[in-house]
Amino acid sequence: MPDKSASEMLKELKELEKGFTHVSVRDLTRMQNNNYPHPTCSSRFIGKAMLTVFSIRQKSWNNFYDLALEEPQKFLTRLKKFDKDKAGHLLPHLMKYVFDRDYPLETLIKKQTYLSGLALWILSLYKYLQLRQAFKSL
């Protein structure tokens, strides 16, 4: 990460906060309806990333369904309450999802589908954790 001043980092952190607000119940419901019982590969990919965030070892579609899609409102509340400041240990684990060749998060976000909000949330978390780590080293 290039050297940045503290004020630049704070500005970027505030900008990243917007990425944590784009997941909606509507998108989660669409994801549920479009992927049951056979999820798409990109939906499985996002599901695995979210299971990683919530430290669920068994990365199966059923576990993601139970976590997020069975009760979308409850999951949305859980996302909003997620303590990003205590998630530094996730940084190396999220790298494989952020830099995946087959399903780059940037591409999933640009497609503007029901996956965009979760993809943006994951990417925002990764960037947030990177900035926090850089900020601590100042």
The pTM (predicted TM-score) of the whole model is: 0.90
Alpha-carbon gap, residue 137 to 23, rounded angstroms: 31
pLDDT digit string (tens) for 103-125?
999 999 998 899 999 999 999 99
Question: Which residues does 6 contact at the CB level (< 8 Å), separation at least 6?
Answer: 135, 138
- What pLDDT is recorded for position 35? 87
Helix, strand, coil shares of the chain, percent, nearest 5, are: 70, 0, 30
pLDDT digit string (tens) for 33-64?
988 788 999 999 999 999 999 999 999 999 99
- What pLDDT is recorded for position 3? 62
Q: Is the pLDDT of residue 85 over 80?
A: yes
- The pLDDT > 90 percentage for the chain reads 70
pLDDT digit string (tens) for 86-95?
999 999 999 9
CATH class for the domain made up of 6-136: mainly alpha
